[in-house]
């Protein structure tokens, strides 16, 4: 396991939070990552679907579900964007603003997920 699993240069992922909540325990980190990898991709798809359906309440609901998952695994910039979506006055908002947030979250999610999978591999089974 890396002695300093914090954000690497150019990385979207900052594993300091994961290390903190797990007490730097590899078994706990694997469990958190596995739950994330099981549920987060589906929620990202739901986020896109809710935006395409122009369902403000649905968009906020999915963002709310994603927030803790993103925070726990160190996807802090994605977490911040999920917070923006959840707290926005969607009824009065410009949907293009949300389109940009959804695009940016989904674009950054893929490389961050790959980094997380690579880190998970270093933790063994």
Contact 43, 62 (CB under 8 A): yes
* pLDDT tens sequence across 11-57: 788 999 899 999 999 999 999 999 999 999 999 999 999 989 988 88
Residue 93: pLDDT band by 50, 70, 90 thresholds? low
Largest CA distance in the chain: 48
Q: Which of 48, 54, 22 is CA-nearest to residue 103?
A: 48
Contact 32, 24 (CB under 8 A): no
Q: What domains can be seen in the chain, in order of their start residue? A: 16-122 (1.20.120.160)
Contact 74, 17 (CB under 8 A): yes
């Amino acid at each position: 396991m890396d002695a300093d699993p914090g954000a690497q240069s150019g990385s979207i992922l900052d594993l300091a939070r994961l290390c903190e909540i797990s007490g730097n325990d590899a078994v706990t980190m694997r469990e958190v990552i596995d739950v994330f990898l099981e549920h987060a991709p589906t929620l990202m798809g739901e986020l896109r679907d809710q935006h395409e359906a122009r369902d403000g309440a649905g968009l906020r609901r999915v963002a709310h579900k994603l927030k803790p998952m993103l925070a726990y695994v160190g996807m802090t910039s994605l977490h911040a964007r999920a917070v923006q979506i959840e707290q926005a006055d969607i009824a009065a908002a410009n949907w293009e603003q949300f389109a940009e947030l959804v695009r940016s979250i989904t674009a950054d999610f893929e490389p961050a997920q790959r980094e997380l999978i690579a880190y998970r591999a270093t933790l063994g089974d």
